[in-house]
Amino acid sequence: MTRSRWAAVSYLVLVFGSGTLVGAVAQRLYMTTTAVTASVMPKTPAQAREEFLAKMQKRVNATNDQLVKVNAILDDAKRKYNELDQQAKPLRNKIDQERIASVLAVLNPEQQKQYIAWRAEVKAKREQEAKLKAQAEQARSGPVPPAKTR
């Protein structure tokens, strides 16, 4: 081979080799970042509230008296949201029942049995997940601590 061919082959090997190396490093960096991000647990409502109150104190220079009032406002808003959820629950249930009845009307009797069994499996799985989530949340969070004093 001539010298120019050796140079061209060397350049090709160098380009492909460096591309492979950069790809491997990028893949490792991506996987590490993704694994760390995925392992971060979401904040509990109590933790989010504590962080909010701490930021109010730090960023807005809220006094302890103001923090107590803000905390009461947050309690009131939470109560109102819970009341709204309770008021909307019967309507959501009615819509769900209408949806289920409509789907069942489309299916033949054998499909209806399969659909009902499938829904029972999904419901049991949701209940189990909710139970585990409640246990995990209870283990992670305690009572809301009072606002820190200055």
pLDDT band at 42 (very low <50, low <70, confident <90, very high): confident
pTM: 0.51
pLDDT of residue 150: 46
**Does residue 55 share a domain with residue 100?**
yes
Q: How many other CB atoms are found less than 10 A from the CB of residue 104? A: 14
Of the two residues 147 and 20, the one the predictor is more confident about is 20
Of the two residues 35 and 32, the one the predictor is more confident about is 32
**Does residue 99 share a domain with residue 30?**
no
**Does residue 62 share a domain with residue 17?**
no
Average pLDDT over residues 15-21: 91
**Does residue 150 share a domain with residue 78?**
yes
**Does residue 80 share a domain with residue 137?**
yes
Spatial neighbors of 140 by CB under 8 A, at least 6 apart, are 41, 44
Residue 75's identity, in one-letter code, is: D
Residue-wise pLDDT tens digits, 61-107:
999 999 999 999 999 999 999 999 999 999 999 999 999 999 999 99
* Contact indicator for 149, 64 with CB cutoff of 8 Å: yes
Domain count, the chain: 2
Residues in the chain: 150
* Contact indicator for 100, 119 with CB cutoff of 8 Å: yes
Average pLDDT over residues 107-117: 95
**Does residue 94 share a domain with residue 128?**
yes
**Does residue 91 share a domain with residue 27?**
no
How many whole angstroms separate alpha carbon 75 and alpha carbon 46? 11
* Contact indicator for 50, 144 with CB cutoff of 8 Å: yes
H or E element: which one contains 10? Answer: helix 3-39
**Does residue 87 share a domain with residue 20?**
no
Q: How many other CB atoms are found less than 10 A from the CB of residue 21? A: 10
* Mean pLDDT computed over every residue of the chain: 87
Of the two residues 104 and 43, the one the predictor is more confident about is 104
The percentage of residues in the chain with a pLDDT greater than 70, rounded to a whole number, is: 86
**Does residue 93 share a domain with residue 47?**
yes
What is the 3-state composition of the chain as percent helix, strand, coil, each rounded to the nearest 5? 85, 0, 15
**Does residue 28 share a domain with residue 50?**
no
**Does residue 76 share a domain with residue 22?**
no
pLDDT of residue 92: 94
Residue span of the structural domain in which 6 resides: 1-40
